[in-house]
Structure 1
Amino acid sequence: MLHDVDPFIGTAATSLPPASGLAATWWSPKPQVGNTHPGATSPLGMVSACAYSGAYPTGYGRYAKSTEGVPEEMLESLQASGFTHFQQSGTGAIRKYYNYVRVTPMVQPLDDLGEAWPLQDETAAAGYYAATLDTGIRCELTVGEKAAVHRYTFPASSSARLVLDLSCGGLAIEHGRTVPLRAHVESLGHGRAQGTVVMEGVPLSVYVEVHSPNWRQMLWYDRRLVEGGTRLDFDSIRQTTLRPFGLLFMGRALAGQAVEVRLGFSLRGCDQARENLRRECGEGEQSFDDVRTRTSARWADHLDRVRVDGGTPARRTVLTTALYHSLIKPCFGDDESPFWPASGPFAFDVCTMWDIYKTQIPLMMAITPDRAADLLESLIRVCEEEGNFPIGYRMARGADRFFRQASALAHTALADGHAAGIGDLDWSWALVHMEADLRRLYGEDFFEHGVAYPISHTLDLAYAHQCTARIARALGDKRLADELEARSRLWVNAFDSSTGLLRDSEFYEGGKWNYSFRLLHDMRARITMAGGDDAFVAMLDAFFGFGAGPVTQPGRRPSPTTMAAGYALNRFEGLNNEPDMEAPWAYHYAGRPDRTAELVNAALTWQFGTGAGGLPGNDDSGGLSSWYVWASLGLFPVAGQSLFLVNTPAFSRAALRVAGGEFVIETTGHRDTPIGADGAETTPPTQYVQSATLNGRPCETTHISAADVYRGGVLHVELGPEPSPWGRSARPPSLSDCRPEATRA
């Protein structure tokens, strides 16, 4: 599957065929761009490397900051002033953009540092990126988990240069720059150097080796060489006093001469950065190809954990690239936490739990359970050190809590992790922090009044109480479990029983319709509140645009009138908005899995494609791509409840490599997407589940347990062209199935 990865998918503004049918009724107000980058990455590794233009939000590309509609272009063409390390992936306004330690190959004077040159002949693969600057320098990048290797092939030049700018950080947009607070740079001679820059409270150290025989090496400051100097120290740097600084390697280059730059990174000092480089690159002088080969092998292993049969080449490319994007973040730096001295996992770029907890973390638990356990341990450690479970966590001092987005989402992942039995976490330790965290921020209002505003936080906190109750009950603390479960029933306070929708409130991206169809822990009571199955399905039908006409999408710089008219539709926003990601599966709880099949089929067909514009919106650190993976498999994880909903698979057969071996989803009656006369895909008719078996036994329900998936087995799904009785009567579990009905506080 490695050859199916296209890292350029999502790097440009959305450019998909005009939707037809159901998908044409959806409205997408959020930025219509994937915001990914094509740079070199390692699966869930600490370091990435990519061409740097300063554009939003990864440092790669041509776009300015955009919050709605079609993104505006900041640059007329692709260009780069060098190649940086640490990039976000598919995020929006994350407010921290990295792009540290810029390496610039030059045949111009140092005074031209910062000039950008057009990029030509770009190529990329998993673990590899290359482009040619219009100066004639061919530039290649690869990375390991904690190291990067660059290879630059120069034209003939009497004065070729490699310039390392250690002061670089952030983006070339308003308020996008990151300025070092303190710095130390030291030239060690013989092509070796090291330095530490403190960026937003984090000491990022780098150890550098440049293999360029007979080249001079010098320090520079403010674009002037520091003759004879071997150290630069800056005890205090401010926005107004910052002048660029770094290292320069200079000498004669023959035509076609390749020069390698090897960089080891650490958050715990230069010595550890040097050891990280040694561990990944060894002692050899020509390490680029070796590192690239090892990283490619790691990607091949990870991508092989989800395999599919059938499907068109385009669908296989989109699926494999979605899996690739799902495994770039979070970043893991084992034994690298700069905030606590203990060894163990340190995870950052959790950007954010709001984006990834429904889809990406469950995917990690299925196919990378060791890393999922490391993520949970790291989140618990952050809570212990800083007093809160973060909603977002980046490589910066202090958890970015993103408190407006949501509350207590880590509890959902912890409940799934406990049920799955991953790792060797001290769950009593975890439970202490989970319970305490429920009282923080909006949690205090929920505890005192049974409701919290913005009203979506009431749903978050009620759900988190239920997740925490599951762990407490499993650990034998019945008193605490009963108390938490009682509070989990207060989700009813978020709803207006006269409308069956959430109460009026402010909402983070979206409105009350977008948030009203979340998969709660008591969907039976939720549907009863809406007036029963038929009334609930009618509400869903209106939300998803069944029977509605096509809508016009917002373009570049949409007017307030255009946006207000779109929001007034109260319509599904496709997959360009996180609250809507799980809504198609709400039909399962009302006995209409056929509707889910129609919606997912429309989304897979019209909201994803090949090419740079192949994503409908921000990839959200892999959350959107993970949705595509699950939807293609015909499964959807109900995060926090340790179960999967079953739907029509997009491929005739798929296999997940899980802890217990292999979980296979196979079909009878599957039809691949048809191909038109011009070779393009045409609209596939929806296929519906007729019946299912799990390990040879009839599966009458529309769900299976997560344990069934993790232990391995075979789910066989029979498909047909018309809806069937399957799933009409048997519903996924709800809290009130075995407990008293939810009552208003």
Structure 2
Amino acid sequence: MGNTHPGATAPFGMVSACAYSGAYPTGYGLYTKNTEGVPEAMFDRIQASGFTHFQQSGTGAIRKYYNYVRVTPMVQPLDDLGQSWALHDETAEAGYYAATLDTGIRSEITVGDKVAVHRYTFPASSSARVVLDLSCGGLATELGRTVPLRAQIESMGHGRAQGTIVMEGVPLSVYVEVDSPGWRQMLWYDRRLIDGGTRLDFDSIRHTNLRPFGMLFRGSARAGQTIEVRMGFSLRGTEQAGENLRRECGGESSAFTTVRAKTRAKWREHFDKVRVEGGTTARRTVLGTSLYHALIKPCFADDESPFWPNSGPYAFDVCTMWDIYKTQVPLLAAIAPDRAADLLESLIRVCEEEGNFPIGYRMARGADRFFRQASALAHTALADAHALGRAPIDWAWALVHMVDDLRRMYGEDFYEHGVVHPITHTLDLAYGYHCTARVARALGDRRLAADLEERSRGWINAFDPVTGLLRDSEYYEGGKWNYSFRLLHDMRGRIDLAGGDTAFIGKLDRFFGYGAEPVKQPGRRPPTAEMQAGYALKRFEGLNNEPDMEAPWAYHYAGRPDRTAQVVHSALTWQFGTGPGGLPGNDDSGGLSSWYVWASLGLFPVAGQHLFLVNTPAFERATLEMPDGEFVIETSGHRETPIGVDGIDREPPPLFVQSATLNGKPLHATHLSAADVHRGGRLHLRLGPEPSSWGSGNRPPSLSDPPPQEAER
């Protein structure tokens, strides 16, 4: 399950809105919580009890599921609030979602950056109503509910109301305008109307005393009558929420069309940054969908931080940094560089305020450190951004935080002993030292850079020299094989440790299942023994989880880019589709979809090394609109290849790069500097049906490479 949702979003917008069933993990859909095997259904139909705001995208067990401020159009009494109705005629487009409830109410939602606009078309009813439930939060699953700590609601008359709820330390404010002439507006508590009441205050709410509460607009509706609900959100109070509403909706009485058109234009602007020629309809659809998913998160709430008073970017839902740092952050740096810079600025501010770079960051008080997953990940993006020279960051100050962060959490043990368990953190920290050394060296601090680089060589302590694999340890969502082929800063040394090219390639071949029997996938509620048997196969997770998502490109470092072409071709052919279930695993805030975008273009970013690896693209021609010009990837000898959803029953053979030119000059290497890509240019790849020797002798750089003069001798 990709764990995405079809709701309305804006590119990197603060607000999203979607039909709410309470299912895992976005609040939309059918399924209960699961992290292994096939999910179990909670419901036997697509249904909703209303429409909520703020959703995760593609995450798994993230422990915070938002779904705040539920809006429910009804023709039933208030006692029926919380009942779910089947959804029919669902429509989803970029920035727009619509469905018809069993009650006959057509429901449409669009969003801007900080606003949501709902439009409900009612059947004839003498008692139609729109109910806002401010107590809603989380999922309808065990331990999935989020309870507000405090709340205030005020009904101001004339279709206007406002309120603030404090959820996990964050004050979320909403300013509401309802275009419903002649309707009454009232507050309600515990499904009972408060006649004449204009304000509700709750100073302390607990699970034990929580009763639903909110506001209601009620009146008669003629058949086909449309009611518009406009909502501005802010993390800095109701006054700013109202300002956000007025700025994005323009004070119009019918803002739905305006907001929808603006958001659609924003999506079009972003989509135009990646253009392809060729490909089947299904392949192009998957690419477009992947690009869409890659641009939903992180959420940017500019000038909205509830934790520091300054203006400027505030980013949240950086929820799966251990995935997105490899693929999505480099994609943002390429096609949305301003937002990539804003993300780094926000992460530095979090580090200033809270004492560490977050491994994951949600809309909650305190950086959720996700310490089990990884260490020192922001360092990769910062090193790449400094090398590109575009992010307007105080780099001397950033370096201070990068160095300090290396000593926090598991970093102290690594500093003292050169190794730490879980062993993957040894790789993370060694790599973080390498990335920080690059920044220090560029800033002229050679002594610091030398010390950092020496400690970065501690990656070798994570490996067993007998097996050439990582040491036995605890592993997050995988085993030691899944983590053993990361693209380190010293792949030459890594390959030598494994016994050289032939031995390393042999381990990779075994990992990717060359010559092996097909893998049996786990079913519903797989027992521990079944999952352990799967891990014991020591196989590539196949992108249903992302700890080894960069492993296919490890062949490049051993002189076998043709193997990369085979593995990536198989993944693009079979593991992604156009319908429900079209993703092989959690999208993880766009990390997996970004992988698909890069793989389809024939490029792969090596985060933290200012480097792109080159592979066979899936399209005849592609154009990336980069900060300094267009980067064109064109081919000769390209052959259209269908994907699994096109009805094929056997895999079409892959194509291999035979030779390459960059801006008309021969390219003998399988890699490019990030600067080559970002400044724009033309990469031409001549393809053929058989593997070639292209790139086998000119490998991507490694820390232990000899100096250029020695290499020439």
Q: CA 1:440–1:518 in 2, change beyond 3 Å: closer, same or farther?
A: same
The yes-or-no answer on 1:443 pairing with 2:411 is: yes
2:245 is matched with which residue: 277, 283, 287? 277
The CA deviation string for residues 489-523 of structure 1, in whole angstroms up to 9 with x for no partner, is 01110011111001110001111111110000000
**Unpaired segments ≥5 residues, structure 2:** 709-713
The structure whose RCO (Cα within 8 Å, separation 6+) is larger is 1
Q: Which residue identity does 1:642 align to in structure 2?
A: H
Whole-angstrom CA distance in 2 between matches of 1:248 and 1:559: 47
* 1:341-740 → structure 2 map (5 Å cutoff): 341-674=309-642, 683-738=651-706
Whole-angstrom CA distance in 2 between matches of 1:211 and 1:138: 16
Q: Which position in structure 2 is the counterpart of 1:176? A: 144
Q: CA 1:175–1:137 in 2, change beyond 3 Å: closer, same or farther?
A: same
Q: Which residue identity does 2:267 align to in structure 1?
A: W
Asked if 2 retains the 8 angstrom alpha-carbon contact of 1:673 and 1:682, the reply is no
Whole-angstrom CA distance in 2 between matches of 1:85 and 1:636: 34
Give the match's secondary structure for 2:668. Answer: coil
Q: Which residue identity does 2:569 align to in structure 1?
A: N
Whole-angstrom CA distance in 2 between matches of 1:462 and 1:670: 40
Q: Which residue identity does 2:492 align to in structure 1?
A: R
Q: Which position in structure 2 is the counterpart of 1:72? A: 40
1:664 is displaced (CA, Å) by 0.5
1:592 is displaced (CA, Å) by 0.1
Q: Which residue identity does 2:558 align to in structure 1?
A: A
The CA deviation string for residues 577-619 of structure 1, in whole angstroms up to 9 with x for no partner, is 2111000000000000000000000000111011011111111
Whole-angstrom CA distance in 2 between matches of 1:376 and 1:355: 16
Please, which moves more after superposition, 706-715 or 420-429? 420-429
1:567 is displaced (CA, Å) by 1.3
Asked if 1 retains the 8 angstrom alpha-carbon contact of 2:175 and 2:242, the reply is yes
Whole-angstrom CA distance in 2 between matches of 1:273 and 1:739: 58
Q: CA 1:702–1:675 in 2, change beyond 3 Å: closer, same or farther?
A: closer
**Unpaired segments ≥5 residues, structure 1:** 1-32, 741-745
Q: Which position in structure 2 is the counterpart of 1:29? A: none
The yes-or-no answer on 1:54 pairing with 2:22 is: yes
1:370 is displaced (CA, Å) by 0.2
Normalising by structure 1, report the TM-score: 0.94
1:558 is displaced (CA, Å) by 1.7
Whole-angstrom CA distance in 2 between matches of 1:173 and 1:132: 25
Whole-angstrom CA distance in 2 between matches of 1:607 and 1:502: 27
Q: Which position in structure 2 is the counterpart of 1:18? A: none
The CA deviation string for residues 80-116 of structure 1, in whole angstroms up to 9 with x for no partner, is 0000000000000000000000000000000000000
Please, which moves more after superposition, 702-711 or 415-424? 415-424
Give the match's secondary structure for 2:547. Answer: helix
Asked if 2 retains the 8 angstrom alpha-carbon contact of 1:62 and 1:76, the reply is yes
Asked if 1 retains the 8 angstrom alpha-carbon contact of 2:630 and 2:681, the reply is yes
The yes-or-no answer on 1:94 pairing with 2:94 is: no
Whole-angstrom CA distance in 2 between matches of 1:674 and 1:339: 50
The CA deviation string for residues 259-282 of structure 1, in whole angstroms up to 9 with x for no partner, is 000000000001100010011101
1:418 is displaced (CA, Å) by 0.9
Asked if 1 retains the 8 angstrom alpha-carbon contact of 2:434 and 2:453, the reply is yes
1:254 is matched with which residue: 199, 222, 227? 222
Whole-angstrom CA distance in 1 between matches of 2:604 and 2:258: 38
Whole-angstrom CA distance in 2 between matches of 1:344 and 1:732: 38
Give the match's secondary structure for 1:396. Answer: coil
The yes-or-no answer on 1:112 pairing with 2:80 is: yes
The CA deviation string for residues 63-96 of structure 1, in whole angstroms up to 9 with x for no partner, is 0000101111111111100000000000000000
Q: Which position in structure 1 is the counterpart of 2:197? A: 229
Q: Which residue identity does 2:526 align to in structure 1?
A: P
The CA deviation string for residues 440-481 of structure 1, in whole angstroms up to 9 with x for no partner, is 010000000000110000000000000000000000111110
Q: Which residue identity does 2:167 align to in structure 1?
A: M
Whole-angstrom CA distance in 2 between matches of 1:502 and 1:680: 38
The CA deviation string for residues 229-281 of structure 1, in whole angstroms up to 9 with x for no partner, is 10001111111011111000000101000100000000000110001001110
Give the match's secondary structure for 1:579. Answer: coil
The yes-or-no answer on 1:245 pairing with 2:213 is: yes
Q: Which position in structure 1 is the counterpart of 2:711? A: none
Whole-angstrom CA distance in 1 between matches of 2:411 and 2:496: 27
The yes-or-no answer on 1:309 pairing with 2:283 is: no
1:737 is displaced (CA, Å) by 0.9
Whole-angstrom CA distance in 2 between matches of 1:681 and 1:311: 18
Asked if 2 retains the 8 angstrom alpha-carbon contact of 1:438 and 1:464, the reply is yes
Asked if 2 retains the 8 angstrom alpha-carbon contact of 1:267 and 1:338, the reply is yes
What CA RMSD, in Å, does the superposition of the two structures yield over aligned residues? 1.2
Q: Which residue identity does 1:149 align to in structure 2?
A: V
Q: Which residue identity does 1:153 align to in structure 2?
A: T
Q: Number of residue pairs matched?
A: 708
Identity of matched residues, %: 79
Asked if 2 retains the 8 angstrom alpha-carbon contact of 1:692 and 1:699, the reply is yes
Q: Which residue identity does 1:640 align to in structure 2?
A: G
Q: Which residue identity does 2:187 align to in structure 1?
A: L
Give the match's secondary structure for 1:622. Answer: helix
Whole-angstrom CA distance in 2 between matches of 1:710 and 1:678: 34
1:676 is displaced (CA, Å) by 10
Q: Which position in structure 1 is the counterpart of 2:106? A: 138
1:559 is displaced (CA, Å) by 2.8
Whole-angstrom CA distance in 1 between matches of 2:314 and 2:653: 46
1:422 is displaced (CA, Å) by 2.5
Whole-angstrom CA distance in 2 between matches of 1:577 and 1:80: 29
The CA deviation string for residues 656-678 of structure 1, in whole angstroms up to 9 with x for no partner, is 11101111100000001158998
Whole-angstrom CA distance in 2 between matches of 1:660 and 1:698: 22
Asked if 1 retains the 8 angstrom alpha-carbon contact of 2:13 and 2:300, the reply is yes
Q: Which residue identity does 1:371 align to in structure 2?
A: R
1:681 is displaced (CA, Å) by 8.1
Give the match's secondary structure for 2:704. Answer: helix
The CA deviation string for residues 634-662 of structure 1, in whole angstroms up to 9 with x for no partner, is 00000000110000000000011110111
Whole-angstrom CA distance in 2 between matches of 1:64 and 1:671: 42
2:159 is matched with which residue: 170, 191, 194? 191
1:557 is displaced (CA, Å) by 1.5
Q: CA 1:148–1:721 in 2, change beyond 3 Å: closer, same or farther?
A: same
Please, which moves more after superposition, 550-559 or 577-586? 550-559
Q: CA 1:526–1:677 in 2, change beyond 3 Å: closer, same or farther?
A: closer
Q: Which residue identity does 2:386 align to in structure 1?
A: H
Asked if 2 retains the 8 angstrom alpha-carbon contact of 1:692 and 1:717, the reply is yes
Asked if 2 retains the 8 angstrom alpha-carbon contact of 1:674 and 1:682, the reply is no
Whole-angstrom CA distance in 1 between matches of 2:159 and 2:133: 16
Deviant stretches of 4+, over 3 Å: 674-682
The CA deviation string for residues 670-704 of structure 1, in whole angstroms up to 9 with x for no partner, is 00115899865862210000011111111100000
Q: Which residue identity does 1:623 align to in structure 2?
A: G
2:120 is matched with which residue: 152, 166, 170? 152
Please, which moves more after superposition, 676-685 or 426-435? 676-685
The yes-or-no answer on 1:167 pairing with 2:135 is: yes
Whole-angstrom CA distance in 2 between matches of 1:291 and 1:174: 36
Give the match's secondary structure for 1:390. Answer: coil
